[in-house]
Amino acid sequence: MTDSNNWTLLPFLRDSAGVDTMVTACGIRLDISRQRLTGEDLKRLVDHCRTRGVEEAHRRMMAGEIVNPSEGRAALHTSLRSFSAGAPKFAEVDRERRRMLDFARQVREGIRLGCRGDRITDVINVGIGGSDMGPHAVYHALRPSNPKIRVHFLSTVDGVLLERILDVCNPLTTLVVVSSKSFGTRETLVNAAAVDQWLLNHGIVGTDRAHHMVVVSANPDAAAQMCLPEENFFRMWDWVGGRFSVWGAVGLPLALSLGPEVFLEFLQGAAEMDRHSLTAPLEKNLPATLAMIAFWNANRLEISTHCVLPYDERLRVIVPWLQQLEMESLGKNHTPDGRRIPGRTGQAVWGANGNEAQHSFYQWLREGTGRASIDLLWSEMPGHRYAEHYRVLLANARAQAEALIMRDPDNPCFNAVSAIVMDAVTPRRLGALMAMYEHKTTMLGTLFGINPFDQPGVELGKRLSKRAERGEDPMTAVAEEVRF
**pLDDT tens digits for 28-72?**
999 999 999 999 999 999 999 999 999 999 999 999 999 999 999
Smallest CA-to-CA distance from 439 within 77, 180, 10, 115 is with: 77
- pLDDT tens-digit map of 337-389: 889 998 889 999 999 999 999 999 999 999 999 999 999 999 999 999 999 99
- pLDDT tens-digit map of 89-133: 999 999 999 999 999 999 999 999 999 999 999 999 999 999 999
Three-point CA angle 327, 329, 335, nearest 5°: 115
Please give the pLDDT value at position 19.
94
- pLDDT tens-digit map of 427-477: 999 999 999 999 999 999 999 999 999 977 677 777 777 777 788 777 777
Q: Are residues 245 and 311 in the same domain?
A: no
Last residue of a domain, one of 235, 264, 293: 264
Distance CA 238, CA 81 (A): 16
Do the beta carbons of residue 131 and residue 303 sit within 8 Å?
no
Q: Are residues 307 and 446 in the same domain?
A: yes
Residue 479 lies in a domain: yes
Distance CA 319, CA 389 (A): 22
Residue 315 lies in a domain: yes
Q: CA-CA-CA-CA torsion for 230, 170, 113, 181, nearest 10 degrees? A: -30
Distance CA 394, CA 410 (A): 31
Q: Which amino acid is at 154?
A: L
Last residue of a domain, one of 238, 264, 290: 264
Percentage with pLDDT > 70 across the chain: 97
Q: Which residues of 250-261 are buried (b: 16+ CB within 10 A; e: fewer)?
A: bbbbbbbbbbbe
Please give the pLDDT value at position 4.
44
Q: Does position 244 have pLDDT exceeding 70, yes or no? A: yes
Residue 403 lies in a domain: yes
Please give the pLDDT value at position 63.
98
- pLDDT tens-digit map of 293-345: 999 999 999 999 999 999 999 999 999 999 999 999 999 999 998 899 988 89
Q: Are residues 191 and 296 in the same domain?
A: no
Contacts of 314 (CB under 8 A, 6+ apart): 140, 141, 142, 379, 383, 425
**Catalytic: which of 328, 332, 439, 440?**
328
Q: Are residues 102 and 169 in the same domain?
A: yes
The yes-or-no answer on residue 359 being catalytic is yes
Distance CA 91, CA 369 (A): 54
Lowest mean pLDDT among 138-147, 198-207, 448-457: 448-457
Please give the pLDDT value at position 480.
73
**Catalytic: which of 89, 140, 284, 462?**
462
Range of the domain at 470: 458-483
Q: Does position 400 have pLDDT exceeding 90, yes or no? A: yes
**Catalytic: which of 109, 359, 388, 469?**
359
DSSP state of 467: H
Q: Are residues 57 and 86 in the same domain?
A: no
Q: Does position 27 have pLDDT exceeding 50, yes or no? A: yes
pLDDT category at 82 given cuts 50, 70, 90 is: very high
What number of H helices and E strands is found in the chain?
Answer: 18, 11
Q: Which amino acid is at 13?
A: L
Q: Does position 238 have pLDDT exceeding 60, yes or no? A: yes
Helix H, strand E, coil C: the string for 168-188 is: CCCHHHEEEEEECCCCCCHHH
Q: Are residues 99 and 222 in the same domain?
A: yes
Last residue of a domain, one of 240, 264, 288: 264
Please give the pLDDT value at position 484.
59
Q: Does position 3 have pLDDT exceeding 50, yes or no? A: no
Three-point CA angle 314, 318, 319, nearest 5°: 120
Q: Are residues 106 and 255 in the same domain?
A: yes
Residue 94 lies in a domain: yes
Q: Does position 232 have pLDDT exceeding 90, yes or no? A: yes
Exposed (0-12), middle (13-18) or buried (19+): which is 174, by Cβ within 10 Å?
buried
Residue 205 lies in a domain: yes
Residue 274 lies in a domain: no
Split into its structural domains, the chain has a count of 3
Residue 219 lies in a domain: yes
Please give the pLDDT value at position 471.
81
Check which CATH number belongs to the domain holding 242 and give it.
Answer: 3.40.50.10490
Please give the pLDDT value at position 150.
98
Q: Are residues 19 and 36 in the same domain?
A: yes
Q: Are residues 215 and 103 in the same domain?
A: yes
Q: Are residues 162 and 309 in the same domain?
A: no
- pLDDT tens-digit map of 406-416: 988 778 899 99
- The continuous run of DSSP H or E covering 342 comes out as none
Q: Are residues 198 and 102 in the same domain?
A: yes
Q: Are residues 309 and 344 in the same domain?
A: yes
Smallest CA-to-CA distance from 140 within 380, 396, 425 is with: 425
Distance CA 144, CA 429 (A): 17
Classify 107 as helix, strand or coil.
Answer: helix
Residue 332 lies in a domain: yes
